[in-house]
Structure 1
């Protein structure tokens, strides 16, 4: 911080970063999703979880993780297993690329033969294990030994981008993540900030519903702009398909039933039966609404029976549309 004591640090971080830290940890400790690997500091069990979750949603990992540890409860038992059995388990549980199973088996062998059964504890040392990259090494160091750096995954990037207006730059994300993490608290902090990204600050934010603890500081919450590196800008509503879907429903709420050519000019002023925005365009729009069970499409006026889609396609002039009753 400069001699002028500005109100904010780099990238929009509040000056009172300690309040930000305390708010997040308190939110996490008060209530968070329950996963079995959060109840252990066994480095082997945590490594298995981290490797499994690289391509699989956490909720789906639980059963596979429990079954894997039931079968191979220690690094030593996994090292002694036939590698084909480990790969077969991986494939049977749809856990992604089978080479991850081979790497995990090799890492267990390293632990047994090179480290006398004891896990290395720092991110740098853990990267010596087969298939363990910087992210996995840091996660194991954090959750098993409370000795990791700040985790920066997609969820964390989204949180920092929205909350503190951090630019979409890996170096910037890592810098802010390091600055925020309390010293000697990588276990609770990394769990907490990833939980925030997974529960409150997902692609569809749930700020109030999830009681996000950073609302009072959050740039996105204050501006209403919830874009993020993995969440593109919301397309313009004006002229969008969403807008015309709404117009179709609005027009039909005033009429019992209309043909496409009666409906078209009421939906858009440039409707032309055989033009770009004509019967074919409107028919597709109405079929989408029918799939959503909002409209009934019929080739018999006054009928509540839907038209056969392929038949209707060949005679769009005779299609009648109405709101589904």
Structure 2
């Protein structure tokens, strides 16, 4: 076992280790990935803008569904300059029409493009820390862009990576342990290919129902789960149902206001849900709260009067 072998703390967080022949582990995974992998178009580019768009889109959407939206988005706004010059309402409308999750992500993507043009003279920063200065770009996305665009990132730790390292090397279900383990596994200076490879392993081989032999998992000889037959996986929060969710109705508001430009409160309410009743559970109070959230996110403007019924909503431009 590697130098991280130890007795562990009271919670067992440090009680894990990597194989002594770590270089063989690394080589096996990279060769497996390079031999055959899913051909997503963003894996064929090192353009940081295109990679950022793919990362933001895939946060709440299956990768197979992202491909078409990603290609259409880049055809419409091929550079940060094009996106920065776009009407934000059009960007948010694109997001809504392609069911890409929370609309404020479209807003942040538009604002980050504006930052790139205004503050960085059209040139992307290249390190995870610098990339986090962009609007709406958190540690995970910053590291992914640094890795895939500039080969300059740390190990990416997503749900797939947690499941793989938990099963293969018994890394405990603890964020700090996952981060340490993932970084110890990654060969120095290989963040682009490594992060793609280990996420691919979790995406096609070490899935919730593992397919070890079927897809020829390259880590079978080292994998604790394969040896024991215990393929328990870390607890992962489930995505709340979209149907009937607040997120769904936020999208309906944006889509309706794109079509009608501006609407009074009750007119908008009846257009976004069939059970809207001004004084009911899903009535003026509910819709006003939804609109206030969208206003806070910079997506809609509200024209208020003394009466809620006379409130007018329009897309922010």
- Structure 2 unaligned regions, length at least 5: 7-13, 238-317
**How far apart are the structure 2 equivalents of 1:215 and 1:92?**
43
> CA separation in 1, counterparts of 2:226 and 2:182?
20
* Rounded Cα–Cα distance in structure 2 between residues aligned with 1:175 and 1:83: 39
Structure 1 ranges of 4+ moved more than 3 A: none
Q: Distance in 2 between matches of 1:67 and 1:225?
A: 43
Distance 1:149 1:101 in 2: 26
- Which residue number in structure 1 is paired with residue 167 of structure 2? 162
- Matched residue count: 229
1:50 aligns with 2:50: no
Distance 1:206 1:82, change over 3 A: same
Q: How does 1:1-20 map to 2 (within 5 A)?
A: 11-20=16-25
Residues in 2 aligned to 1:184 and 1:91: alpha-carbon distance in whole angstroms: 38
Deviation at 1:231, TM superposition (A): 7.3
2:72 and 2:2 map into 1 onto residues whose CA distance is 54
- Of structures 1 and 2, the one with the larger relative CO (CA 8 A, separation 6+) is 2
Q: 1:34 aligned to 2:39? A: yes
Q: Note the aligned Cα RMSD (angstroms).
A: 1.8
What residue is the counterpart of 1:61 in the other structure?
A: 66
> What are the Cα deviations for residues 151-176 of structure 1, in whole angstroms up to 9, with x where unaligned?
00010000000000111011111111
Equivalent positions of 1:44-123 (< 5 A) are 44-123=49-128
Alignment of 1:125-274 (within 5 A): 125-230=130-235
**Corresponding residue for residue 274 of structure 2:** none
**In structure 1, what is the Cα distance between the partners aligned to 2:236 and 2:106?**
31
User: How far did residue 10 of structure 1 move?
Assistant: 6.3
Residue ranges of structure 1 left out of the alignment (5+ in a row): 233-325
Q: CA deviation at 1:12?
A: 3.2
CA contact (8 A) 2:2 2:17 kept: no
Q: TM-score if structure 1 supplies the norm length?
A: 0.68
Cα deviation for residue 134 of structure 1 reads 0.1
What are the Cα deviations for residues 277-323 of structure 1, in whole angstroms up to 9, with x where unaligned?
xxxxxxxxxxxxxxxxxxxxxxxxxxxxxxxxxxxxxxxxxxxxxxx
Residues 60 and 101 in structure 2, CA contact (< 8 A), matched pair in contact too: yes
In 1: Cα distance, 2:70 partner to 2:2 partner: 49
Measure, in 2, the Cα distance between the counterparts of 1:203 and 1:131.
30
Q: Tell me, yes or no, if the aligned pair for 2:2 and 2:18 is still in contact at 8 Å.
A: no
Q: What is the CA–CA distance in structure 1 between the aligned matches of 2:236 and 2:221, rounded to whole Å?
A: 22
CA–CA distance in 2 between the matches of 1:74 and 1:184?
A: 28
SS in 1 for 2:144: helix
Q: CA separation of 1:231/1:71 partners in 2, compared to 1, >3 Å: closer, same or farther?
A: closer
Q: 1:197/1:2 Cα in 2 relative to 1: closer, same or farther (>3 Å)?
A: closer
Q: Is the 8 A contact 1:17 1:180 kept in 2?
A: yes
Question: CA offset at residue 192 of structure 1?
Answer: 0.1
Distance, in Å, in 1 between the alignment partners of 2:25 and 2:127 is 27
Residue aligned with 1:32, SS: coil
Distance 1:10 1:203 in 2: 24
Q: Higher Cα Rg: structure 1 or 2?
A: 1
